[in-house]
């Protein structure tokens, strides 16, 4: 068991001095020999466990749980649509500042990461968006922890989502291994954001107004429509005279007659 690559020999200490040999047998000062246990931690024998003391993973392949080897399908996003999404996020963040929240609903660093994803890495024609953490760090000049927290915040708000990916490969000895790839990200529309209300969306009509006849345009608006449609000036002046109660239309009709129309 001591020759297994995942097993590390345990050093026994005596007077703060490690005492062990390669074969796992210890030699004390009185000449007696004592057998060592041979492992530093029980998880070293179990590839699917991690060392709880130092966080070292003994997994067969160092890939994130839930990573997929399937091909990722990206959805194209025009640049104007991406810009509208970013500006809505900025406006939403500003509404949080008005409510007295420090940094806004989203946060300044989170907005910076979103701006970088949309305007630095997103391929609008194909929708491809799979930068590495190091690439995002170089563009934003933020540390890795801040980038990770910002991405997690964007996902919690429903602004982005991602898929963890890995690929099949062979090591130097020809054995099958899985290697981690960069995440595949997707920018989600505002309709999927959590706790977001689009103030630009008009409210639906009140139920009491359902079925009512919509109001007709005024004579001035009708005359402007006739002018765009190419009607003669005489026809437009006569239309302005149709309602004696519309003082503005009567004034414009009188002006037209004064000009000889």
**pLDDT score at 110:** 95
Measuring CA to CA, how many Å separate 46 from each of 1, 4, 8, 50?
A: 12, 12, 13, 8
**pLDDT score at 232:** 80
**pLDDT score at 7:** 44
**pLDDT score at 236:** 80
Distance CA 185, CA 217 (A): 48
Distance CA 136, CA 153 (A): 15
Q: Domain 79-192: which CATH class?
A: mainly alpha
Q: Are 68 and 166 in contact (CB under 8 A)?
A: yes
- Using 70 as the pLDDT threshold, list the residues of the chain that sit under it: 1-60, 97-102, 199-203
Q: Would you mind telling me the total number of residues written for the chain in this entry?
A: 261
**pLDDT score at 44:** 44
- Phi, psi angle pair for 75, to nearest 5°: -110, 125
Q: What is the 3-state secondary structure (H, E, C) of the chain?
A: CCCCCCCCCCCEEECCEEECCCCCEEECCCCCEEECCCCCCHHHHCCCCECCCCCCECCCCCCCCCCECCCCCCCCCCHHHHHHHHHHHHHHHHHHHHCCCCCCCCCHHHHHHHHHHHHHHCCCCCCCCCCCHHHHHHHHCCCHHHHHHHHHHHHHCCCEEEECEEEEEECCCCCEEEEECCCEEEECCHHHCCCCCCCCCCCCCCHHHCCCCCCCCCHHHHHHHHHHHCCCHHHHHHHHCCCCCCHHHHHHHHHHHHCCC
* Domain residue ranges in the chain: 1-60, 79-192, 219-258
**pLDDT score at 47:** 45
Q: Could you read off the pLDDT of 63-90 as tens digits, one per residue? A: 888 888 998 899 999 999 999 999 999 9
**pLDDT score at 18:** 53
Global pTM reads 0.55
Please count the CA atoms within 13 angstroms of the CA of 94 that sit on its side-chain side: 7
């Amino acid at each position: 068991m001591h020759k297994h690559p995942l097993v590390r020999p345990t050093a026994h200490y005596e007077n703060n001095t490690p005492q062990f040999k390669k074969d796992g047998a210890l030699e004390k000062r009185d000449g007696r020999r004592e057998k060592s246990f041979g492992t530093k931690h029980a998880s070293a024998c179990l590839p699917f466990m991690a060392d709880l003391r130092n966080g070292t993973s003994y997994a067969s392949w160092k890939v994130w749980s839930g990573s997929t080897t399937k091909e990722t399908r990206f959805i194209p996003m025009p640049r104007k649509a991406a810009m509208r999404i970013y500006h809505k996020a900025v406006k939403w963040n500003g509404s949080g500042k008005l409510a007295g929240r420090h940094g806004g609903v989203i946060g300044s660093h989170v907005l910076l990461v979103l701006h970088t994803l949309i305007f630095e890495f997103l391929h609008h024609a194909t929708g491809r968006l799979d930068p590495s953490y190091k690439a995002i760090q170089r563009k934003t000049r933020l540390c890795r922890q801040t980038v990770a927290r910002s991405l997690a915040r964007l996902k919690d708000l429903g602004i982005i989502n991602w898929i963890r990916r890995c690929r099949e490969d062979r090591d130097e000895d020809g054995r099958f291994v899985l290697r981690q790839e960069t995440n595949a990200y997707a920018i989600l529309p505002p309709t999927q954001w959590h706790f977001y209300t689009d103030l630009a969306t008009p409210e639906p009509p009140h139920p009491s107004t359902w079925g009512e006849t919509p109001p007709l345009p005024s004579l001035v608006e009708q005359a402007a429509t006739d002018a765009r449609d190419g009607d003669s000036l005489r026809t437009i002046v006569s239309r302005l005279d149709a309602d004696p109660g519309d003082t503005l239309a009567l004034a414009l009709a009188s002006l037209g007659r004064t000009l000889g129309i």
